[in-house]
Structure 1
């Protein structure tokens, strides 16, 4: 029942003009904003000040805007059936040659991205541009939500696999597919690697570089940002080659540090589009 209710809301969203959908999404987020836990807001503000060196007033603005944008992002996901038919009107891609170079050997590749911009739209945009994309999904607790989001991800061109199905990822890469991984959140103490991020020692996930190294494929940093006119811009960076020396940990760390530097620069350029509410340094505090 819930699944069909979501589809009904999606149908209505598809009938809306883009700017109206954005306004509705932002209005929903504004209604929910006061109910967000105070400690979570304070955490976001503190992280923004520590990372960007801005005033508290500016940090509060960035924290709020980075949260409110989830409303319009939600409406965009609901409008995927419409966007899928008009992708070229919604997204432009810069640096497609970098993505092409990363896949040129025919062994597949790794896309390293983050929770910035509408990352749900990113895979679909690349798929429409002719790149074979595998989206790695986190299984949702609510079955209806899981069914809906994966149906819509598939609709816009991606092949979807769950994050625990590493065997399928290897198989898809051998067939030339690019595996899209979110690589900007806190890792657990056992699996993470400590690198520099915004001048702080930060525990980072190793998955993108580990997979790239094990399969001898490049890691391509790619991000998406929303412009003032409502269109999105996908930015593809040159591939990062992961070394394959006797020091596996250093190979992975060196490649991931390159990615962290690119991610940091992107966040500095578009600070209101990153997910600041995430407790990025939680595991580092727990180490002390």
Structure 2
């Protein structure tokens, strides 16, 4: 990732900062089984963490790499459930600090560690990790192939890698692509075959490729409802002007995502 893109992504997440409280620290979508599934918003987001995490096949004592780990909320949940060690990387200095706070509060000091590092140029030796996860972070990559090659390098042979992707479900205008890019979503694939080919070109065997577009789509309506309900309290805490600017920007972005962006989950293995 170029220094310019690293700065763009890092500054984006530094800027939204404390507003991750609105989504319980989860910088990803939620998961509902069907239209009849009445799971509340934050529960659905936690459910997605465990649905994705289950595909890693984690075993007690293993070491997981979390690429683009956000503020560490998924890492905390997975470390608690599977008794694994997790190293997360991010290009947001604020996220590194916030993740450390959350890890300590969860009683996981030393078991979950977040480092400032570029996913396209990782500071780890070959075969350092038993499993790897890129949870809603690969869409931020300017060079997705390079990210995937780096994950392949640092993963041990036989290790599992799960990543999620935001595909386009309809043609995008130049203006819509610009909106996505401003929100760090680059070159959305059109099909599962495109996402699969990226992983295979990096050297992975793809053992499952799933389209969860309809299972996550409710996220955007649920988010807007939460923002409306909590907006006054957020404005009091962070300032009405900041919340108004955030609301305008996120409404444009999420309205586009609801209409034209789906969700892929790919489970891969590095050949032994």
Q: TM-score, normalised by structure 1?
A: 0.36
Normalization by structure 2: what TM-score? 0.37
Structure exhibiting the larger radius of gyration computed from Cα positions: 1
Structure with the greater relative contact order (CA < 8 A, sep ≥ 6): 1 or 2? 1
